[in-house]
Amino acid sequence: MTDGQQASDVLQRQGAFAARDEWTAKGWCRIERALELIGTRSAMLVLRELFYGGTRFDEFARRTGLSEAVVASRLKQLHADGLVDRRPYREAGKRTRDEYVLTERGRQLFPILVALMQWGETLRDDHRTGVELVHRGCDAPLGAQVRCAAGHEVPLNQAAVRLKDEDYVKAALGRN
């Protein structure tokens, strides 16, 4: 550990993954794959507007401050990756255009949005600006939590990381 970092400040590596220098996550890490889809600032800003109820191209460009070319590129990629659907609409006297809506896969990003907003609150001294997410049922602010499948809240010092299928990974890498 470096600079005062404790062993409890990182994920505990387990099983074959414990030998950190023998493994690289490059090419198979789920974080890496997720960031390929949503890892740009522009993609997250377009997704933010979709979550806020935006559906139209001109809204995305205006409300994000991104150029039309960037918005078009992001929407095309988000659609190709299955995060948004296109639906045709037509206003009287105008040509048919597409509006954009989140797919189920796109809506699954909601906890990430909540976590980013929660973490973002720690970046500014003025916590009275911006928006906050609240529960419509009781008006309490939302927060992201890490829980195991059994329902326990899990802080970092109680979390671990391991290979999902050690035998498969070892065979694929020729490390029997």
What phi and psi values does residue 101 have, to the nearest 5 degrees? -135, 150
Please work out, in degrees rounded to the nearest 5, the angle formed at the alpha carbon of residue 131 by the alpha carbons of 112 and 133: 50
Q: What is the pLDDT of residue 7?
A: 65
Q: pTM here?
A: 0.82
Contacts of 153 (CB under 8 A, 6+ apart): 145, 146, 147
The confidence band for 82, taking pLDDT boundaries of 50, 70 and 90, is very high
Read off the pLDDT of residues 132-145 as tens digits, 9 standing for 90 and up. 899 999 999 999 99
Looking at domain 40-103, its CATH architecture is Orthogonal Bundle (1.10)
Predicted local confidence at residue 62, as pLDDT: 97
Domain residue limits, the chain? 40-103
Average pLDDT taken over every residue of the chain = 89
pLDDT confidence of residue 2? 54
